[in-house]
Amino acid sequence: MEQALVVSTMQLLSQILVNGVLLGGLYALMALGLALVWGVLNIVNLAHGALIMLGAYVGYYLFTLLNIDPFLALPLSMAVLFCVGYLLQRGILNLIARAAMFNTLLITFGIDVVLTQLAQIFFSADFRTINPSYAGSNFMVFGVTLPLVRVLAFVVALALTIALWLFLLHTRLGRAIRATAQNLGAARLYGVEPKAIYALTFGLGAALAGGAGDLYGVVSQINPYIGATLTAKSFAIAIIGGLESPLGVVVGGIFLGVVESLTALYIGPTFVDIASFGILVLVLIFRPNGLLGATT
Amino acid sequence: MTLRFKFILGVAAALMLATLPWFASPTLIQFGISTLLLATLAQGWNIIGGFTGYASFGNSEFFGLGSYGTAIAMVQWQLPFGVGLIFGVLLSVIFALVVGIPVLRLRGHYFAIATLALSQVMTAIVSNLEVAGRNTGLVLPLLNGDTLFYELSLAVLLLATLTVLWISNSRFGFGLIAIRENEDAAASMGVNTTLYKVLAFALAGVFSALAGGIHAYWITFIDPVSAFDLSLNVKMIIMTVFGGPGSVLGPVIGAFVLSGISETLSTEISSLANLFFGVVIVAAVVFMPRGLADLMRRFRKTGWRYFSENVKQHRL
Amino acid sequence: MTPPPLLEIRGLSKRFGGLVAVDDVNFSLASGETLGLIGPNGAGKTTLINLISGSITPTTGDILFEGRSIKDLTAFKRARLGIGRTFQIMKPFPGLSVLDNVAIGALFGTSETAKALRTARDEADQWLELMDLSRYADRRADELGGPDRKRLELAKAMAMKPKLLLLDEVMAGLNHVEINEVIEAIKKVRNTGISVLVIEHVIKVIQRLSDRLLVLHHGQQIVEGKPGVVLADPRVIEAYLGRRRA
């Protein structure tokens, strides 16, 4: 009797951990674009969550109107958001590239409001989900239930993260982007205009948000207002993981996912935000370079 | 001469605003109350954001604490409104001190995001508190007296504006400005930066909490989402930035102008008003980052070039 | 009994991770004395100034000001005790007028906390006059160029009425004519009778200003003494001048 209880508690715990890790992979992808833009352009993009939201709607409409599977729609969603990001940087953010940090915060905040309101006007405030036929399928491994879409989303998110990492390490453009993070002029050494790097990087950040949004629409409900929370979570993950490498962001994402799952089970679902944002504030105060970052 | 003229003009404007309830329609009075409260919030944000340069995205926490302090005192403990208001302010100041000391050590982005995260934490905490009515919120006793609420809001706004006027001409205010302009240099010149930042944060908290308490009693109902409404941060920041951060009247003028326009727009479509706020903040940051106050001062000299010069100065 | 030196540095070290930026430095500075601190880039000069002004805390060692340990005091308290400084990268308050930049020094540099704004501005006026900046009083500080900006930095620090002034590479980025102008300004400052600790790259400047020189290399002090003697020392030539001449 007691043994059975122990077994089921263990099983519950491993189920929760697996849920947390699966959620964390998606979180990591969400935070990746924010961390990239922050590291290279020194902009904390408060509209990042709104870009994720837009990506989710692109996926939603491709699925409902054109019947394109959300996992196949992923590149399209990323492409659309890349254009949105590229244009936002070229058309607006570039105009204040040398202004005080406070102004970049304000302007991305304004862009967030505009995107959210436009989404509400065009897409309505109703909750939506991307519901492919296999949405309810599960499979079992060692007594742990694995929802198919969550596993797929996790794998795709991880693959995109690794792809970004390889891109930054091993391509000429990737190296130019990394060099720009240290020094704006450095991009010229790679034969690329700094201005172009800024727009490309912001576009890339938006594309990652678009991909994350498409996947988010598959595993969760979307509406125009999900952006603010997602921005805050992305920020939390980037802070926890540090800005140095995509790997840190993955660790940060999984950490947050697990903490949220454990909090929901052991303390209560209404305490999830207290836990995740409480951790963010504590990390900010005690380890401003991230849990994995160097101590000063 | 000009100083006396300004003084007379200020008193005249305050008197005119005070007599409004005797000839305005009930709807206009209600619009007036909400505008005055927003202006108070903007003025509070002006102290920490405009003078001290700390971009707080969490002043709605103070508004919420003021609302809940007043509501809890009145509903749960049957205390009079005045006591509730003081209780709300007290909560807000305690919060500013306890949270401010660690959070105000953070600079730039980190401070902004920490305050943003804290306001989400506050919403979640309040929705789990029995005494605050959890998710359902609290219903306050009904008082039909919009004129009273109007005059009260006006009084609080006047108090906030006079405080900012004092700040702008005092040693304290110069310390805050020094922190905004360059915190390291300020410390090396003898400014007690920690104390000053926390005081500015607490002062912003006092006025935001007063606005929150009055708003709660006026609306007679509060719940976690509306009391800690994140979009309040949007509004107070935009109004201050639009009017002129770090100026005495900028936030008030910004609040009046933007409330007026958004009220007109929202009679058409309600989401249009919020869209308008978003567009204004983007345009203001690009074309007039120092606000209306600076625009009016320099437009005569520079003309329309004012806008293109701002863009030229900051673009890549 | 002789009075304690104005500033005394005892076994002061600062480590950043594995790097020892300042390594067991000892020296003292008498009232009214000007000490020059030289050394190649990365020798730990600015770190030493940051340690004295309180922007960073030492790993080991002690700092005594007027005989009293100040190593645990925050930067603003040290400023009020009478330690003024300038920054290598000039840090004016860009949005304030030149006058108000200096007024902030007068307002906050002393323990007298009830000073009126008007008094502070009057005092600031006098410092602007001494530094030949009166005609720029109403300009925004970020509109000033080269040597004027340096003189503003001096005026700001002097308005605090410091007993000790720390000057961190004030000459950086100036041409010969401008350097001479600023040297004259620093001499005026010195003639008020305060002690000065000056970091400088330009040897000519340090020779003309200092009573005594201290050479730092890899965080360690290698020579200390009269300028003529120190600059002729072979270790100094090897560590600092030799490389430059090569």
**pLDDT tens-place string over residues B288-300:** 888 888 888 888 8
Domains in chain B, number:
1
What pLDDT score does A292 carry?
Answer: 56
A229 and B120 within 8 Å at the Cβ level: the answer is yes
Q: Which residue has the tokens 């008197």?
A: B15
Q: Number of residue pairs across A and B with CB atoms under 8 Å? A: 139
Of A99, A110, A281, the CB nearest to B278: A110
Amino acid letter for position A118: L
For the residues B150-174, what does the mean pLDDT come to?
94
C104 and B193 within 8 Å at the Cβ level: the answer is no
Confidence of residue A50 (pLDDT cuts 50, 70, 90): very high
pLDDT over 90 (residue B202): yes
Contact A28, A204 (CB under 8 A): no
pTM: 0.86
Percent of chain C with pLDDT over 90: 23
B277 and A113 within 8 Å at the Cβ level: the answer is yes
Give contacts of B105 with chain A, Cβ < 8 Å: 285
Tens of pLDDT, residue by residue over A205-248, are: 999 999 999 999 998 899 998 998 898 889 888 888 877 777 88
Q: Is residue A106 within 8 angstroms of chain B, CB to CB?
A: yes
Of C85, C91, C107, the CB nearest to B174: C107
B181 and C96 within 8 Å at the Cβ level: the answer is yes
Q: Is residue B315 within 8 angstroms of chain C, CB to CB?
A: no
Confidence of residue C245 (pLDDT cuts 50, 70, 90): very low
Non-local (6+) Cβ contacts of A211 within 8 A are: A29, A55, A74, A77, A78, A81, A156, A157, A160
CA dist., res. B209 & res. A76, Å (int): 47
Non-local (6+) Cβ contacts of C147 within 8 A are: C174, C178, C181, C182
Give contacts of A38 with chain B, Cβ < 8 Å: 109
Least CA distance to B278: which residue of chain A? A110
What pLDDT score does A5 carry?
Answer: 61
Least CA distance to A235: which residue of chain B? B113
pLDDT over 60 (residue B115): yes
Q: Which residues 191-220 in chain B show a CB within 8 A of chain C?
A: 191-194
Is the torsion defined by CA of B93, B99, B104, B105 positive or negative? positive
Closest approach of chain A CAs to the CA of B120, in angstroms? 7
Structure tokens at A165: 């990492």
| b/e burial code for range C212-227 (CB count within 10 A of at least 16 → b) | bbbbbbebbbbbeeeb
Burial class (CB in 10 A: 0-12, 13-18, 19+), C197: buried
B190 and C100 within 8 Å at the Cβ level: the answer is no
B190 and C87 within 8 Å at the Cβ level: the answer is no
DSSP B104: T
For the residues A3-8, what does the mean pLDDT come to?
63
B271 and A117 within 8 Å at the Cβ level: the answer is yes
Number of CB atoms found within 10 A of residue C183's CB? 18
pLDDT over 70 (residue C114): no
Non-local (6+) Cβ contacts of B90 within 8 A are: B69
A280 and B315 within 8 Å at the Cβ level: the answer is no
Structure tokens at C22: 């300042």
Give contacts of C54 with chain B, Cβ < 8 Å: 187-188
pLDDT over 90 (residue B235): no
Structure tokens at B120: 């989400």
What pLDDT score does C1 carry?
Answer: 55
Q: Is residue B188 within 8 angstroms of chain C, CB to CB?
A: yes
pLDDT over 50 (residue B172): yes
Instruction: Kindly list the residues of chain C whose beta carbon comes within 8 Å of any beta carbon in chain B.
Output: 53-55, 74-76, 79-80, 84-85, 87, 91-96, 100, 103-105, 107-110, 113, 115, 117, 120, 156-157, 160
Tens of pLDDT, residue by residue over C58-97, are: 999 999 999 899 999 999 999 999 999 988 776 778 888 8
Query: Which of B3, B179, B181, B189 to probe by mutation at the C interface, max C CB count within 10 Å?
Result: B189
B281 and A107 within 8 Å at the Cβ level: the answer is yes
Least CA distance to B185: which residue of chain C? C91
| CA distances from residue C226 to B315, C28, C195, C210 in whole angstroms, order as listed | 51, 14, 16, 9
Of residues A98 and C103, more confidence is placed in C103
What average pLDDT does chain C have?
85
Classify residue B86: in a domain, yes or no: yes
Structural domains present in chain C: 1-26+55-72 (no CATH), 73-195 (3.40.50.300)
What residues are paired with C215 via a beta bridge? C38, C223
Write down which chains contact chain A via at least 3 CB pairs under 8 A: B
Domain that holds residue B168: 31-313
Of B110, B241, B282, the CB nearest to A92: B282
Give contacts of C110 with chain B, Cβ < 8 Å: 190
Tens of pLDDT, residue by residue over C36-61, are: 988 887 788 889 999 999 988 999 99
Structure tokens at B18: 């005070």
Contact A166, A156 (CB under 8 A): no
pLDDT over 90 (residue B36): yes
Of residues B108 and A36, more confidence is placed in A36
pLDDT over 70 (residue B39): yes
Q: Is residue B170 within 8 angstroms of chain C, CB to CB?
A: yes
Tens of pLDDT, residue by residue over B53-73, are: 998 988 999 999 999 999 999
For the residues B63-91, what does the mean pLDDT come to?
94
Classify residue B20: in a domain, yes or no: no
Classify residue B287: in a domain, yes or no: yes
Classify residue B126: in a domain, yes or no: yes
Classify residue B194: in a domain, yes or no: yes
Of C91, C103, C120, the CB nearest to B185: C91
Classify residue B17: in a domain, yes or no: no
What average pLDDT does chain A have?
86
Confidence of residue A100 (pLDDT cuts 50, 70, 90): confident
| b/e burial code for range B14-47 (CB count within 10 A of at least 16 → b) | eeebeeebeeeeeeebeebbbbbbbbbbbbbbbb
C94 and B181 within 8 Å at the Cβ level: the answer is yes
Q: Is residue B105 within 8 angstroms of chain C, CB to CB?
A: no
Closest approach of chain B CAs to the CA of A22, in angstroms? 24
C85 and B188 within 8 Å at the Cβ level: the answer is yes
A101 and B109 within 8 Å at the Cβ level: the answer is yes
What pLDDT score does C246 carry?
Answer: 39
Percent of chain A with pLDDT over 70: 94
Percent of chain B with pLDDT over 70: 98
A232 and B234 within 8 Å at the Cβ level: the answer is no
B187 and C110 within 8 Å at the Cβ level: the answer is no
What pLDDT score does C241 carry?
Answer: 55
Q: What is the DSSP string of C122-139?
A: HHHHHHHHHTT-GGGTTS
Closest approach of chain A CAs to the CA of B10, in angstroms? 31
Of B106, B285, B313, the CB nearest to A110: B285
Classify residue B48: in a domain, yes or no: yes
Tens of pLDDT, residue by residue over A122-162, are: 998 899 988 888 877 888 887 788 888 889 989 998 999 88
CATH at B81: 1.10.3470
Classify residue B215: in a domain, yes or no: yes
What pLDDT score does A69 carry?
Answer: 92
For the residues A192-208, what does the mean pLDDT come to?
90
What pLDDT score does C178 carry?
Answer: 84
Q: Is residue A278 within 8 angstroms of chain B, CB to CB?
A: yes
